[in-house]
A and B are shown apart, each in its own frame.
Chain A
Amino acid sequence: MNSYIELSYMDIALAGMLLGINAMLSVYYKLGTEKRLVIAAVRMVVQLTLVGLILKALFAAVSPWLTLLAAIVMVGFAGREAMARQERHFKGFWGYGLGTGSMFAAAGTVTFFALATQFHADPWYDPRYAIPILGMILGNTMTGVSLALDRLLADADDGRARIEARLALGHTFREALQMPLRNAMRAGLIPTVNGMAAAGLVSLPGMMTGQILAGVEPVQAVKYQLLVMFLIAGGTALGVFAAVMLALKRLTDPRQRLRLDRLQGK
C-alpha cells in the first residue's frame, strides 16, 4: 500500500492540458465543442474538489445524521439528473418521485447489504464506507433507471395505436404493455450487462485501475472490483425493476386504460 505516488496539483494540471489541446483544435477547426468541454471540465474540477473537502469533513465527523444527510442529497441530485435525461416524464410529483424513489430504495438496500455483510464497518454507518459505496451504486442505478423509463414512456407514447388496439380487443394492460416492458428492462440493464461482459477484456474498470495505480496488489484490486460490480449490477437491476413497475402502474388506472394524459414533455 505504501508504493503509491502522491500526485501534485501540477501533475493534474498537466493532464488537464490534454483537454486544452482538444479545445484549441476545436477552435481552429470551428467544431464548436470547446465551450462545452471547458465548462464540463471546470464543473468537474469544482464539484470533485468540493466533494473531496466535504468527504474529508464527513469522514472526520462519523455522524449518522450527517451521513444520512449526505446520502439524501446524493439521491436527490441523482433523481433530478435521471429526470432530466428522460424525454418524457410523468406530470407533477411523479415525474421526480418515481425515479428518485426507486433509486433510493434500490441503492439504499444494496448499500446497507454491503455494509452489513462484506465491510463490517464500525460503526456500520461509517461514512468512509457508506458514502463511496452508495455513490458508486447510485451513479449506475441512475443511468439504468433513466434509460429504462425513457424507453418505456417513449414506447407507450409512440405505440399508442398498438397498445390501445390490444386494450380495445379485451387484452389486459399487462398483456398490451408486455413488449414495452421487456424493451425498457433491457434498455435499463444493457450498460450493466455490457460492463460485466467487457470487464477485463476490453477495458480495465476505472475503480480497479485507480486502486492499482494507488499501489494496491492486483488480485486484491480485482476482488474489490468484483464486489463492486456485483453490487452495482444488483442495485441497477433492482432500481430498474422498481422504476419500470411503478411507471407501469402510473401509466394505467383501475379500468386498465392507457393514461398518456399523465405524461408531459418531449
Chain B
Amino acid sequence: MLHIHGLSRPGLQRVDLDVDAGTCIAIRGSSGAGKSLLLRAIADLDPADGEVSLKGMSRTLMSAPTWRKRVIYVAAESGWWDVTVGDHFSNPDIAAGYLVRLGFTDDAMSWPVSRLSTGERQRLALLRAIVLTPEVMLLDEPTSALDPEATAKVESILHEKRAAGTAIIMVTHDKAQAARMAEHRFVMTAGALSAEAAS
C-alpha cells in the first residue's frame, strides 16, 4: 500500500520499502542513527529525494496537507499550540470513545495542556492522530514515556487499527515491543536501513 522507492536525504541512505495494509514495521537503532529522519522524510516534513506513493498514487500528486493527513507522523516529542486538550482535536466526539480506554476520564478534553504529564501528552498526541483515521501511521517511540500497563492499552488500540487496515511504521527502542507489534523488523545503523537478523 505504501511504496517507498529510493528515498534518501543527508543522513539517510537510500531506502526501498513496501508496507502492506494492516501490517506493522518496527525500526530499532541507536539515537542519531536516522530513524526519525526516515519517518520525517516519508511524511514529507523534510526535503528528500526519491519516490513515495500511497495506493499507487505518488505523494507529489496530492497537496502536502492531504498527504500528511493520510500518512500521519507522530513525533517523539509532542507539540501543543493551544490551551486545552480539546482545542487540539478536530473531532473531539470520536476521541471521547478512546479516552477511557487510554486511562483518561471523560472530561480530559477540557484539561489545560500545561497540566498534562509527559506520558499523558504522549497518549493524547497519538490519539489526536488516530481520530483522523490515517491510512499509514509513522510512530516515533510512541510508548517511550509509558508504564507497561499504559503501553498495553496503546498497543491494543494500535492492533485494532491494524485489523481495520492501517499500516504502521514504528520506531522503538524496545525489542520486546518490536516482537509483539511488528511482522517485519529493521535496524537503522548510521543512516542505513537493514532487515534485522532473525533470532
Contact = CB atoms under 8 A, between A and B. Distances in A.
A163 interface: yes
Q: How large is the interface on A (under 10, 10 to 19, 20 to 34, 35 or more residues)?
A: 20 to 34
Given A170-B132, A257-B44, A165 B68 contact: no
Contacts of B129: 168-169
A161 B80 CA distance: 8
Contact of A164 (B63, B79, B128): B79
Given A255-B64, A256-B64, A169 B78 contact: no
Interface string A184-195: 000000000000
Contacts of A256: 63-65
Contacts of A227: none
B47 A253 contact: yes
Contacts of B125: 165
A41 B128 CA distance: 58
A168 B68 contact: yes
The B contact surface, by secondary structure, is loop
| Max count, chain A CB within 10 A of own CB: residue among B64, B72, B74 | B64
Given A253-B47, A257-B46, A168 B77 contact: no
A161 B76 CA distance: 10
B79 A170 contact: no
Contact of B66 (A164, A170, A176, A179): A170
B78 A161 contact: yes
Contact of B45 (A159, A164, A179): A164
A121 interface: no
Contacts of A212: none
Contact of B81 (A165, A168, A255, A258): A165
B45 A165 contact: no
Nearest to A257: B45
Interface string B40-53: 00011111000000
A166 B81 contact: yes
Contacts of A258: 45
Contact of B65 (A160, A172, A179): A172
Nearest to A175: B65
28 contacts: A160-B79, A161-B77, A161-B79, A162-B80, A163-B79, A164-B75, A165-B75, A165-B78, A165-B81, A166-B79, A167-B45, A168-B72, A168-B74, A168-B75, A168-B129, A169-B68, A169-B69, A169-B128, A169-B129, A169-B132, A170-B66, A170-B72, A170-B132, A172-B65, A176-B81, A256-B65, A257-B47, A257-B64
Interface of A: 159-172, 176, 179, 253-258
Interface of B: 43-47, 63-66, 68-69, 72-75, 77-81, 90, 125, 128-129, 132
In order of increasing CB-CB distance, the 6 nearest A-B pairs are A165-B79, A170-B69, A161-B79, A162-B79, A256-B64, A168-B73
Given A161-B75, A170-B69, 4 more contacts: A167-B45, A170-B72, A255-B64, A257-B47
